[in-house]
Structure 1
Amino acid sequence: MTNYETLQQATAEHRQWLLETPVIQRALSGDITKAPYLAFLEQAYHHVKQTVPLMMACGARLPERLEWLRGALVEYIEEEYGHQAWILDDIRALGGDPDATASARPAPATELMVRYVRDVIAHDNPIGFFGMVHVLEGTSTAIATQAAEQIRQGANLPADAFRYLESHGSLDVGHLAFFEEQINRLEDPADLQAIIDTANMVYRLYGAMFRNLERDAGSQSSHEELGHALV
């Protein structure tokens, strides 16, 4: 079994929990309104804008034995830079307020996801960052393009409000193949385990982010919402 196959197997349960999120299932069937899609974009902005800083932090802390992986990160950074601007354009096309999104604080699950990965990089094994890559890009290739089409048709939304989802659905197919190649080059089992552990945590936090999109903000505190979403 390759490293990538091991990673897929070790994270399958948490991946399924994410994909079974009700709002994701409704999006894939076209049974969704503009509000949760806009809420998704608002949260996506806050973790996407951290992607490049997290990559740079990871690259700075990788040991010399993983110099080849640092080189791969350089290439990846060039492709990922500035994608949060696409999200703001989508928000604007939906009639939302991109400036308010950019200045707002992210929801608890979104903030915790970014902070967790940052902590793994700084205080644990920096290669754990690739667990987040595995979750976000794997989820994107699985549902992004299909979801974009279904949401647009189901909610009758403007075509120019889907640049982020549509671009990442196809773009991340190539990224995922590149990611698999890098993961399979790892030789230390501890490195693979760090990626698995981070991926499983990110699956839970990313899933919690989705589970909170349609919750009534006035019915319970944000911390209560997060607690329920993680169960």
Structure 2
Amino acid sequence: MGEAAGDLSPRGVVADLRNELDRLVAGLDQEPAIKAFKDGSADKALYVDFLVQTRHYVALTAPCLEAAGRRLKELGEHPELAELFFQKADEEAGHDILVDDDLRALGLDPEATLAAHPPGEWITAYNSWITAATNGRHPAAFLGSAYILEGLAVERAGKVAKALVATSSIPKIADAVTFLDLHAEADIGHVDDLERILAGLEDATECDAIVMTAAATRGAYLGMLDEVARTRSTAH
């Protein structure tokens, strides 16, 4: 799902994560699905596929945050981080419903749409990775995924939402970008908070697990976009 991290030092973990985020943003801008969202050529089916795959991984965010917090407590490690995970689990709870709202705005029944479109290979792989990581020896690995996804929201979610509204001919698209819009605004402070937390971690093995999870998240997200675009191209 992504390359293993290279030689890491605890002080370098933030720089390594920034590099992973930069690589994801650069790759994202080359993805056919994202280009279609920006230039107005995306049809409703492509956007729905994107929303559905997004919904399938976002639904795991709060449960994984809670699991990571519990696991840290079991290990007797990072009590403040454990409490932060519990707090963020509360903040993230219900964010999957934002995707449901976008699907409804497009005239679809969320439950039926999700049932008809199960997780693809990349989101299935990501969900397995992040579940194992948060229940493993280094549950702080979830910070790598959080950094990548929240950083991506800050860098591109708002821009993609604006482009969709400005260029797309998809009916009622202006009412169907709730998830992208709200995450673009909400995650700005989250990235700064994560960097402060990450800078205080001192275990090199733990830092390695965090960066590996970030790389896995980057690979899965780009793979998901490839999969969505490929599914649409073969459907026509």
Same fold (TM over 0.5): yes
**Relative contact order, CA 8 A, sep 6+: which one is greater?**
2
Q: Which residue of 1 is the match for residue 80 of structure 2?
A: 68
In structure 2, the residue matched to 1:4 is 14
Q: TM-score, normalised by structure 2?
A: 0.84
Structure 1 stretches of 4+ moved >6 Å: none
Does structure 1 residue 213 correspond to structure 2 residue 228? Answer: yes
* Paired residues of 1:15 and 1:203 also in contact (CA < 8 A): no
Per-residue displacement from partner, 1:159-180 (whole Å, max 9, x unpaired)?
Answer: 2211111000110112112111
Alignment root-mean-square deviation, CA: 2.2
Structure 1, unpaired ranges of 5+: 221-231
Q: Which runs of 5+ in 2 are unaligned?
A: 1-10
Q: 1:178 aligns with which of 193, 206, 214?
A: 193
Aligned to 2:140: 127
Match of 1:26 in 2: 36
CA gap 1:90/1:24 in 2 versus in 1, 3 angstroms = same
Displacement of 1:89 in angstroms is: 0.9
Equivalent residue in structure 2 for 1:155, among 137, 156, 168: 168
Identity rate, percent = 29
Whether contact under 8 Å (2:37, 2:164) holds in the other structure is yes
Q: By how many angstroms is 1:139 displaced? A: 1.1
Q: Post-superposition shift, 1:11? A: 5.8
Matched residues in 1 for 2:233 and 2:29: separation?
Answer: 26
Q: Which residue of 2 aligns with 1:146?
A: 159
2:214 and 2:25 mapped to 1: Cα distance?
Answer: 9
Q: 1 CA distance for matches of 2:137 and 2:38?
A: 36
What is the number of equivalent residue pairs in this alignment? Answer: 220
1:197 is aligned to 212
- Aligned counterparts of 2:43 and 2:234: Cα–Cα separation in 1: 20
Contact 2:151/2:191, CA 8 A, preserved across alignment: yes
Alignment partner for residue 112 of structure 1, among 125, 133, 143?
125
- Write out per-residue CA displacement over residues 82-102 of structure 1, whole angstroms, 9 at most, x where no aligned residue: 111111110011122311134
Measure how far apart 1:65 and its partner are. 3.0
